[in-house]
Amino acid sequence: MNPSLWLALLGAQTLISFVPGAGAVNTMSNALTVGFRRAIWGVLGQQVALLVHIAIAAAGVGILVSNSPLAFNLIRYTGAAYLVYLGVRKFLQRPEPSDVRALQSSESPFSMFRRGVWVNLLNPKAIVFFLALIPQFIRPDQPLLGQYGVLAATVIAIDLLVMWFFYAGTARSFRRFTRDDRGQVILNRTFGSLFVGVGALLALA
């Protein structure tokens, strides 16, 4: 991949990563629950899902999904339902005493990683997006493996940095609200509503 093409990819992916979505909401929610450093596990799970989407688009399977209303809608509504489920659970979550919050903050890395994978994996828009993005930065007359490697590494690196340092970092400023019951209720309902909202947009868009 030549430098000018790579710089274009870098700019496009940076802009895309800063657009808030389910991954951003999940990252901020994790950071508020377990802290900035441990939120990385959820971010890593989201990156694995992005790799899967890139592989699907590169293999051409994404074209079949995007051209099949049944397959596309099945994935779309499953993803939307999962986000709404996370949102309702978060919205209804009651304030927890400090000892329970300490227990919650010990959520296993695997649990956060798994949730991150599902949040990004069950997003058919990502498949369609990569179908539109990848052809712009891949030259068929050049070795494909290296180009896909550079594209995947760039996409993952940018998204990881934005999710962790921007969204998880931003969430740190809200952690003071978790110290009392009222603050916990406000944050739970805020992030619960955001999850439901993203799920509804995914289902209706």
One-character DSSP codes across 132-184: HHHHHH--TTS-HHHHHHHHHHHHHHHHHHIIIIIIIHHHHTTGGGGGSHHHH
* Per-residue pLDDT at 82: 78
Q: Which residues span the domain enclosing 195? A: 21-204
Query: pLDDT per residue over 122-175, tens digit each?
Result: 876 677 677 767 777 777 778 878 888 998 999 999 999 999 998 888 887 776
> Which pLDDT score, from 0 to 100, does residue 184 have?
72
Other beta carbons less than 10 A from residue 64's beta carbon: 13
Q: Is residue 163 part of a domain?
A: yes
**12 found inside a domain:** no
What pLDDT, on the 0 to 100 scale, is given for residue 61? 67
pLDDT of residue 99: 45
pTM above 0.85, yes or no: no
Q: How many domains does the chain have?
A: 1
Decide: residue 24, CB within 10 A, 0-12 exposed, 13-18 middle, 19+ buried: buried
Q: Using one digit for the tens of pLDDT, what is the confidence trace for 85-122? A: 877 887 887 766 554 444 455 678 999 999 999 988 88
What's the CA gap between 61 and 105, in Å, rounded? 39
114 occurs within a structural domain = yes
Residue range 28-36: mean pLDDT, rounded: 85
pLDDT at res. 203: 73
15 within a domain of the structure (yes/no): no
Indicate whether 120 belongs to any domain: yes
Q: Is 90 inside any structural domain?
A: yes
Residue 192 lies in a domain: yes
Indicate the pLDDT class of residue 74, thresholds 50, 70 and 90: confident
Give 159 or 12, the one with higher predicted confidence: 159
Task: Provide the pLDDT for residue 160.
Answer: 94
Looking at every residue in the chain, the average pLDDT score rounds to 80
- 104 lies in some domain: yes
